[in-house]
Amino acid sequence: MARCYTPPMITRDRYAPSPTGLQHIGGVRTALFNYLFAKASGGAFILRLEDTDRSRFDPAYVKNLYDTFAWLGLYWDEGPDIGGPYAPYIQSERFALYRQYALELIDKDKAYYCFCSPERLETVRSKREAARSSETGYDRYCRAIKRDHAAKRAADGEPCVIRLKIPLDNTTRFHDQLLGDIEWQNNDINPDPVLLKSDGFPTYHLANVVDDHLMGITHVLRAQEWLPSTPLHVILYQSFGWNPPAFCHLPMVMGQDGKKLSKRHGATSVDEFRHQGYLPEALINYVALLGASYIEGKDLYTLEELEVCFSLEKLNKAPAIFDYKKLEWYNGQYIRMKSDKDLAALALPHAVDAGLFGQNNAAPDETQGRAFIEAIPLIKERVSFLHEIPEKLRYLFAEPPLPETSEFLPKAMDIAKTIELLELGRELLEPLASRNDADAEAFIKAYAESHSVKLGNLMMPLRVALTGARVSPPLFGTVRILGAHVSRARVERALAALRKVNGQIT
């Protein structure tokens, strides 16, 4: 029977998801820590698809996995899509191996055939429940059947499963790289769990252990929710006569309420974060800090820096708290690091989806595309998510509705005085459109002083006329992008509306 060979001192770890749902933030954290550990130790990072749960399997989830990690920029050294020396890396393509190894355990008297029907198992369960018994799991009814007799019944085609013989006494001990030495009472382990089902499908435990051994996995980094399965896996390794890998059970990721992170706390699938306008760099940086610490006083890390900094010694035992506001801060930081052109390209799909350039999700024409890039500096410091950008710039691509008259009025000013201010502002448009921010600011300050008006009072009605709101992106950049002609037309529209209201009042 083939055995794997792993060169000494080469670390090999893996991410082994079950493609039964979208990739969520907890799975990505597990994958990221495995990826970083492999890179930091000069080892190999492997992807394996554990697709034995065919009732919930969907090819769309496999595609989501590939799309998610391509977006994050995380790549494996071996996997289903690129192959490797231990292929295939999809469990449904390895069924013959699992049967072979299950039969080996029977030969070693470490496993046995079980012929109990589902009806018998249900009867046992019901009787225990009625008797309020503390016993759980299988009652080991078939464990006493002589091996030869059981083998003949199986060969004759009698439906059966293969169960592992859990030792009836003593304890199982193993060392966890984060949690230290752990001891588990064998009578607390699920009694004689199924390894191979009657349809030939392996259970998670058998496939996981066989694959980790044959693929030369040296380190298993996984969530702490898998800790109760580890004694069973250690017993499996011992039953085969194999050395188990080093285990490291990662700290849980919790919500602010101290409960395991779930949809009730907000977005959990990476698709949700992606659609909300998060950047992959921000997500990786923040997730890498969930349960780990690196350089004191440093918050922002590139993926390359994390590949150097990561080590198991920097993991924390305590659960990590997922803070959406902190992730938002990270996202804002990475948005501001982008060049205007790169940020425009990232925000463009959101702008198209929002109909910024026309109906039916129209793509921008050349003029609109250029204006979109030019407008990015106006809002870069004001956004935390990509999806916010289209709404903040919508006034540049479509004339905004006129707001209520009161929005135009500076404090303690009436409509008549506001009309005068807006008429003064109208004369500023052409010179402002051709000046940079510094020159424009000097020019408008001098203009306000020469006309004995407060600068704020002069700018506010002008801002509202151009953007439709009192709070908006910077005025000077707005005038430059709209141009003097469009800007003047919007001011004239506002003046006409204010004069109409003023005439009705008087």
Which residues are known catalytic residues?
263
Cα Rg, the chain, nearest whole Å: 33
DSSP track, 56-71: T--HHHHHHHHHHHHH
Tell me the angle at which helices 388-397 and 475-505 cross, rounded to the nearest 10 degrees: 60
Round to whole Å and give the CA distance between 256 and 327.
Answer: 13
Half-sphere exposure of 485 (CA within 13 A, CB side): 0
DSSP label at residue 80: T
Pair of tokens at residue 143? 């464990």
Would you say how long the chain is, in residues?
A: 506
> What 3-state DSSP class applies to 288?
helix
Half-sphere exposure of 480 (CA within 13 A, CB side): 20
Cα 308 to chain centroid, rounded:
22
Whose tokens are 């304890």? That residue is: 171
**Which residues are 320's β-sheet partners?**
253
Pair of tokens at residue 147? 């091996």
Round to whole Å and give the CA distance between 292 and 311.
Answer: 9
For residue 393, give the nearest of 406, 376, 407 by alpha carbon. Answer: 376
- Judge whether 321 and 291 are in contact, CB under 8 Å: no
Pair of tokens at residue 171? 């304890």
The CA–CA distances, whole Å, from 221 to 57, 176, 195, 207 equal 24, 10, 23, 17
Q: How many CB atoms lie within 10 A of CB 225?
A: 12
Round to whole Å and give the CA distance between 387 and 452.
Answer: 42
Is the omega angle on the peptide bond into residue 88 within 30 degrees of 0, that is, cis? yes
> What 3-state DSSP class applies to 186?
helix
> What 3-state DSSP class applies to 402?
coil
For residue 19, give the nearest of 81, 101, 74, 71 by alpha carbon. Answer: 81
